[in-house]
Amino acid sequence: MKKLLILLISILLSVTSLNAEGKIIGGANHSVPSWFKLSFLDITEDAREAQNNNKHLMIFLDLDGCPYCDKMLKESFFPKNRTSDFIKAHFDVINIRITGEKEITWDKNTSMSEKEFAQKTKIYFTPTILFLDGNKNIVTRVDGYRSPKNFLNILKYVNGKYYKKMQIDEYLNRVKNKNLYKLKPNKLFSNINNLSSVSTPLAVIFEDGSCTQCDYLHNVTFKNKDVKKELKAYTIVRLDASSDKPIIDMSGKKTTPKKMALDMNLSYRPTILLYNEKKLRLSIDALLYSYHFKERLRYVSGKNYKKYDSYRQYSRARKKELLKEGVIIDLSN
């Protein structure tokens, strides 16, 4: 009887486990600083008012529970530092929630909800930061988290109106500090100069001496067990984005890492290009914690681009699948 009771309890626990719903943890509730502009979300008026004050309009688009929004706000907006001081001096900042229902007036003939605005401007990541001139032209766009040092360079690019003269990656390549980081070896990397020779899924990582997030990539992301599992499907090549060493790109053309980065407008370090079946399928050009990182790897290596129209569509379906399986999804680092 005792053995039978133990068996029944084990079966009951197994069934309960199978039927358990997963949950999402690690999200970060956040607020925006009180000095953000109190706006009626009339974008024409906000952009014109900023211009009259010799400023640009900055739109900070976020999402409830977004850990990257929380991190960026706590580092570059809330504390008193060079970055936040520069923002206050040269930008009017308004906040838009990408799932919100507040009405936005674009012009006298066009209005939409916050959610519709996010869809219209193709906001796929949060935070996304849009910089507008007095005529409501989006002169610069930042998708995803940036460190205070990197963000300050972007702010100076916009404030100085360098967008009229050059692409942001060209500007950053001129002004950024190239002595912040020393490229380090990693057993994951393959020494391959001909990218077109790779038949497996391929991850091409661009680093250089200005990289403020490369240490995190090596010391945290690459050591996560779920990320390591997904990386096994890939050939991984690390390129120094400041190098003039000859290489052959995925299309078979001769180039250099420096030229390749400039031609592809890669302004973030480390940028990771994910290829499969000889085509670029997805890029990672912002800080990602382990869950989001490994799911992007899985999307490409598993050829999920054939089943889903976009990574965003895949991500939604994948999240539902994992929760149904009882998996705990941790959005934190």
**CATH code for the domain of 290:** 3.40.30.10
Residue 272 to residue 287: CA distance in whole angstroms: 11
Predicted confidence (pLDDT) per residue in 93-123, tens digit: 999 999 999 999 999 999 999 999 999 999 9
Both structure tokens of 31: 């607020």
The sign of the torsion formed by the CA atoms of 315, 319, 325, 330 equals positive
90 contacts 155 by C-beta, under 8 angstroms: yes
In this structure, is residue 233 part of a structural domain? yes
**Do residues 324 and 211 both lie within one domain?**
yes
Residue 196 to residue 237: CA distance in whole angstroms: 12
pLDDT at 312 exceeding the cut of 50: yes
pLDDT at 1 exceeding the cut of 90: no
Number of domains in the chain: 2
**Do residues 69 and 157 both lie within one domain?**
yes
Burial class (CB in 10 A: 0-12, 13-18, 19+), 44: middle
Q: How confident is the model at residue 19 (pLDDT cuts 50, 70, 90)?
A: low
| Per-residue pLDDT at 17 | 46
Kindly give the pairing relationship between strand 328-330 and strand 23-25.
Answer: parallel
> 3-class SS at 205?
strand
**Do residues 50 and 158 both lie within one domain?**
yes
| Per-residue pLDDT at 330 | 97
In this structure, is residue 150 part of a structural domain? yes
Q: How confident is the model at residue 329 (pLDDT cuts 50, 70, 90)?
A: very high
| Per-residue pLDDT at 16 | 46
| Per-residue pLDDT at 21 | 87
> Last residue of some domain: 114, 143, 165?
165
Predicted confidence (pLDDT) per residue in 155-181, tens digit: 999 999 999 999 999 999 999 999 999
Range of the domain at 223: 195-330
| Per-residue pLDDT at 201 | 98
pLDDT at 18 exceeding the cut of 60: no
**Do residues 318 and 206 both lie within one domain?**
yes
List the alpha helices (DSSP H) in the chain: 2-19, 43-52, 67-76, 82-90, 114-120, 148-159, 168-175, 214-219, 225-231, 257-263, 290-301, 311-324
In this structure, is residue 18 part of a structural domain? no
pLDDT at 152 exceeding the cut of 60: yes
**Do residues 227 and 112 both lie within one domain?**
no
pLDDT at 236 exceeding the cut of 50: yes
pLDDT at 13 exceeding the cut of 80: no
> Last residue of some domain: 120, 143, 165?
165
**Do residues 200 and 131 both lie within one domain?**
no
| Per-residue pLDDT at 333 | 83
**Do residues 231 and 137 both lie within one domain?**
no
> Last residue of some domain: 147, 165, 183?
165
| Per-residue pLDDT at 5 | 52
pLDDT at 8 exceeding the cut of 90: no
Predicted confidence (pLDDT) per residue in 272-309, tens digit: 999 999 999 999 999 999 999 999 999 999 999 999 99
Predicted confidence (pLDDT) per residue in 22-44, tens digit: 999 999 999 999 999 999 999 99
In this structure, is residue 70 part of a structural domain? yes
pTM over 0.75: yes
